[in-house]
Structure 1
Amino acid sequence: MSCLSPEGSRAWEIVPQGDRSLVLVFGDEVDIEIGRRCITAAAALRGARIKGISDIVPTFNSVALHYQPRLFGASTSFRHLAGEIDKVLEQTFAQDAPAPTPARQIDIPVCYGDVYGPDLAHVAQHCQLTQDEVMRLHSETPAYVFMLGFAPGAPYIGMHDPRLAIGRRSTPRTDVPAGSVAIANLQTMIYPNMSPGGWHIIGATPLVLFDPLEDPPTLLAPGDTVRFIPISAEEFLAARHERT
């Protein structure tokens, strides 16, 4: 099932995924404008509180909706549920709909290079830049949080300057330290906990990305804007010391 925009192009498609979830597809690219549409749709559907929907998860270009069939009435069908979703989205994306709530901007301090960014030199060489240029390009323009995934609180942030184009490492690391700031495919990943990882580590942040005892437990949320702030090793250690 799909909904067409006023110009006739497809705006979103509703695709069933098993008997307890469906996916709203807004495109097939990693694009900030598509990402914003996903965040807007997810927020609108949460606000609508459609009976039976238990979780709403925005991604790069789609939104997953998980639902509990046992909570639906006897006459409720997938087509009926899709119709309710369409009504919410049609109202949300109408030209006279209220503007969405402005996104948060979160400053993320980053200590680049040396022991905190062991791949910075390699990234610079690959991109035919100096290490200072890599740091400048990474930090001078705010970036968008598309989604959280891979691990609790782990953000996918982009898109960066095309001059920072580099793929993933050919051999992933088995242990990436918590707080590592890494890039690949014009995006940044910040590892919230010690974990395996295949992105290029160019720095580290002293901030905690995930704490299950906090409310909310994640520092970042889809739709946020991140500004990376270069800091010195001394500032990094001082910030880490303040947390202990």
Structure 2
Amino acid sequence: MHWSAEPAGVNAILLRFGERMDPALSACIHQLGQRLRACLGDSLLNITPAYTTLLLEYDLRLEDYDSLLARLTPLLNHQPESAPETRSEVIHIPVFYDPHTTGPDLTALAERCQCSVEQLIHLHSSREYRVYALGFAPGFAYMGELDSRLISARRETPRSRVPAGSVAIADNQTAIYPIESPGGWHLLGRTPMKLFNVDADPPALLQPGQAVRFHAVDRDTYLSLGGTL
């Protein structure tokens, strides 16, 4: 697997492996991160996988950039081109899809996609997604890939307030806003599940490499699970 390395701040190395979102590459990066953690031990403070990169933060008391790169090189040069097939537990996310309350963009998106709201909900909830990366906000998981009929650019005007738990799409991805924040993605619904808990280990419910499925629930079920409107 081709790779390159570059400094990222005073105590980090950014490893690059490609240029586009790909499930097979994501699996390789995820498994490589686990392998490097096992091989390099206390030298690594944190490992952050993303779509095509792996960020390694290291302990300056134990390593510098050159010494860590020297240890990484043989490990990376012998990294398999593909990751062994593994199956993680699927995380099921209940979602109340409703154009009048939790999903204010459902109707406009359905018109743009030339389908009914019900068909749009089915397209979004009928496939399995992979968590590629965390970012933007604590616990915000970028997941892909959408059915090609749902691919939509971000909103021209972002909202100043998006409620926590909002399930959204933009470009070729879907995500859940873990906390109330501004946002420019299209809102389809809302989940009562808590995506980020500072007291949990790990704090973020969704982690890179995991599989996720959304399933539609009605209003009463959503409220009984702790959802708010």
Name the TM-score, length of structure 1 as normaliser.
0.86
| Aligned residue runs from structure 1 range 58-207, under 5 A | 58-72=49-63, 78-93=65-80, 99=84, 102-113=87-98, 114-207=100-193
SS at match of 1:141: coil
- C-alpha distance 202-12 of structure 1, shift in aligned 2 (>3 A): same
Residue type of the alignment partner of 2:97: Y
Shift of 1:93: 2.3
Q: Which segment is superposed worse, 79-88 or 209-218?
A: 79-88
Unaligned runs of 5+ residues in structure 1 are 6-10
Distance 1:16 1:215 in 2: 29
Distance 1:36 1:86 in 2: 20
Aligned residues: 227
- C-alpha distance 20-100 of structure 1, shift in aligned 2 (>3 A): farther
Shift of 1:55: 1.3
SS at match of 1:84: helix
User: Which of 206, 212, 216 is 2:202 aligned to?
Assistant: 216
Distance 2:35 2:125 in 1: 32
SS at match of 2:225: helix
Identity over aligned residues, as a percent? 38
Residue 55 of structure 1 contacts residue 67 of structure 1 at CA under 8 Å; is this kept in 2?
yes
Residue type of the alignment partner of 1:60: Y
Residue 13 of structure 2 contacts residue 65 of structure 2 at CA under 8 Å; is this kept in 1?
no
Unaligned runs of 5+ residues in structure 2 are none
User: Which of 209, 213, 216 is 1:227 aligned to?
Assistant: 213
Residue 109 of structure 1 contacts residue 206 of structure 1 at CA under 8 Å; is this kept in 2?
yes
Residue type of the alignment partner of 1:37: C
Residue type of the alignment partner of 1:80: S
Q: Which segment is superposed worse, 101-110 or 42-51?
A: 42-51
User: Which of 19, 35, 45 is 1:54 aligned to?
Assistant: 45
Residue 140 of structure 2 contacts residue 176 of structure 2 at CA under 8 Å; is this kept in 1?
yes
RMSD, matched Cα = 2.1
Residue type of the alignment partner of 1:156: Y
Distance 2:81 2:116 in 1: 47
Name the TM-score, length of structure 2 as normaliser.
0.91
Distance 2:113 2:81 in 1: 43
